[in-house]
């Protein structure tokens, strides 16, 4: 999001901002705004989400219409749907195709945020899964439309490949400076809405973990604030952790690439763990109000197989020959995360975590305890 904001500024001004420190500073400011938004509560979050549904739909339509209409030239349909270019250095086209799924992987994470938010609401066992399904379906439709419009708007593929920020270059070449800055701005607003929802969803998840005694000093983090019963301490903790994770980018851009790959892999592994549990302990886990019926086991097996395969692919360097700068360090970072998680579990987690408590609609004492 910070890149979109800075790119919009650079397009409209002669004095350019290319300092990574500016990105970090802007990121911190946006995190503070996101925490402030989160403090307004789930009711306000509902209002924002209704607005964001309209905003995302409208901005998508503006982008997919403005680019092809204003572009001076258009690639042929044959080029758009059949052309395959390999600039990675790897000779195997199949491997190149698989490595390209990293960007697609980014569009297939985060759709569970609605379930995290629903965790503390009425009928969470039904509204959560429905929210996930709606997010997946709508994301697929939106992605296909944007991909087709983008491909038909490309003016110079080599320029995009060498650009430090291809999205801004694409908009600038397909339209004009003012329109390009406008398109970047409306996307940045959409991403800010996403950031706010991610903070709320992550905060709800971590608050649930604190409620269940799963994190250190859980009684401190479990505290709710104000009449809206907001887990403000958790929201602040989420922001602090996010900022700490981002700051090392000042020292190395390689770290950023590794962090992005690691995020996609860890998110997918987290999605796969419940599926694995379902496969192993199918008889011991009761079905919820919302389930996939007789297709449940088959879908779980496909999901686990795909996640295992996808996670391995995302650990492969995207460029050949491999150097310290082009090495995919996500495997190392995942190892660190795994070791930390295992160490925490054996040192502290297993002593305090006794399983999830009931949701607030079933047990009002949960909220009363958090208010003490």
**Which pLDDT does position 362 carry in this prediction?**
45
- pLDDT band with cut points at 50, 70 and 90 for residue 253: confident
Residues 6+ apart with CB under 8 A from 136: 108, 111
Residues 6+ apart with CB under 8 A from 46: none
**Which pLDDT does position 141 carry in this prediction?**
85
Mean pLDDT is lowest, of 112-121, 158-167, 193-202, for 112-121
Q: Give 305-311's long-range contacts (Cβ < 8 A, gap of 24+).
A: 307/268, 307/269, 307/271, 307/272, 307/275, 308/272, 310/101, 310/105, 310/265, 310/268, 311/265, 311/268, 311/269
Angle 193-197-203 from CA coordinates, rounded to 5°? 150
pLDDT digits (tens, 9 = 90+) for 306-350: 888 888 888 888 888 888 877 888 888 888 888 988 888 888 777
Residue in 361, 358, 342 with CA at minimum distance from that of residue 350: 342
**Residue 277 is encoded by which pair of tokens?**
């549990």
Q: How far apart are CA 183 and CA 198, in angstroms?
A: 23
pLDDT digits (tens, 9 = 90+) for 44-90: 777 887 888 888 889 999 999 999 999 999 999 999 998 888 888 88
Asked whether the bond before 71 is cis by omega within 30 degrees of 0, the reply is no
pLDDT at 272 over 90: no
* Average pLDDT of the segment spanning 116-122: 60
Q: How far apart are CA 295 and CA 87, in angstroms?
A: 40
- pLDDT band with cut points at 50, 70 and 90 for residue 112: low
Q: For the beta carbon of residue 89, count every other beta carbon within 10 angstroms.
A: 13
Q: What SS3 state is found at 230?
A: strand
pLDDT at 218 over 80: no
pLDDT digits (tens, 9 = 90+) for 140-194: 888 888 889 999 999 888 888 888 888 999 999 999 999 999 999 999 998 888 8
Percent of the residues in the chain that have a pLDDT greater than 90, as a whole number: 17
Residues 6+ apart with CB under 8 A from 367: 224, 229, 360
Matching residue, tokens 């995919």: 328
Q: Report domain extents, the chain.
A: 1-74+108-251, 252-357
Q: How far apart are CA 24 and CA 21, in angstroms?
A: 5
Q: What SS3 state is found at 157?
A: helix
* Average pLDDT of the segment spanning 209-237: 82
- pLDDT band with cut points at 50, 70 and 90 for residue 371: very low
Q: For the beta carbon of residue 50, count every other beta carbon within 10 angstroms.
A: 10
Residue in 120, 110, 123 with CA at minimum distance from that of residue 222: 120
């Amino acid at each position: 999001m910070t890149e979109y904001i800075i790119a919009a500024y650079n397009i409209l001004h002669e004095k350019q901002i290319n300092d990574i420190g500016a990105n970090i500073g802007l990121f911190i400011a946006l995190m503070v705004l996101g925490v402030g938004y989160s403090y307004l509560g789930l009711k306000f979050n509902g209002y924002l989400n209704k607005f964001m549904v309209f905003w995302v739909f409208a901005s998508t339509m503006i982008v997919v219409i403005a680019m092809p209409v204003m572009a001076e030239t258009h690639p042929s349909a044959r080029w758009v749907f059949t052309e395959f270019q390999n600039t990675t250095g790897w000779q195997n086209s199949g491997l190149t195709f698989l490595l390209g799924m990293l960007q697609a992987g980014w569009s297939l994470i985060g759709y569970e945020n609605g379930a995290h938010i629903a965790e503390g609401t009425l009928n969470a066992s039904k509204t959560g899964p429905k929210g996930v399904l709606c997010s997946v379906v709508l994301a697929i439709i939106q992605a296909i439309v944007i991909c087709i419009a983008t491909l038909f708007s490309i003016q110079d593929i080599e320029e995009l490949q060498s650009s430090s920020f291809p999205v801004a270059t694409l908009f600038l070449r397909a339209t004009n400076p003012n329109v390009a800055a406008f398109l970047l701005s409306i996307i940045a607003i959409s991403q800010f809405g996403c950031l706010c929802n991610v903070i709320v969803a992550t905060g709800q998840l971590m608050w649930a973990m604190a409620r269940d005694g799963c994190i250190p000093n859980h009684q401190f983090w479990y505290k709710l604030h104000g009449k809206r019963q907001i887990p403000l301490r958790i929201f602040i903790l989420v922001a602090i952790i996010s900022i700490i994770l981002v700051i090392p980018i000042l020292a190395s851009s390689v770290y950023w690439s590794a962090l992005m790959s690691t995020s996609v892999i860890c998110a997918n592994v987290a999605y796969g763990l419940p599926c694995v549990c379902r496969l192993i302990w199918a008889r011991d886990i009761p079905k919820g109000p919302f389930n996939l019926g007789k297709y449940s086991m088959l879908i779980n097996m496909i999901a686990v197989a795909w996640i295992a395969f996808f996670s391995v692919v995302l650990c492969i360097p995207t460029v050949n020959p491999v150097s310290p700068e082009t090495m995919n360090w996500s495997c190392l970072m995942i190892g660190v995360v795994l070791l930390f998680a295992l160490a925490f579990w054996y040192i502290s987690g297993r002593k305090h975590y006794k399983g999830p408590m009931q949701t607030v609609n079933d047990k009002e004492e949960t909220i009363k305890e958090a208010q003490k």
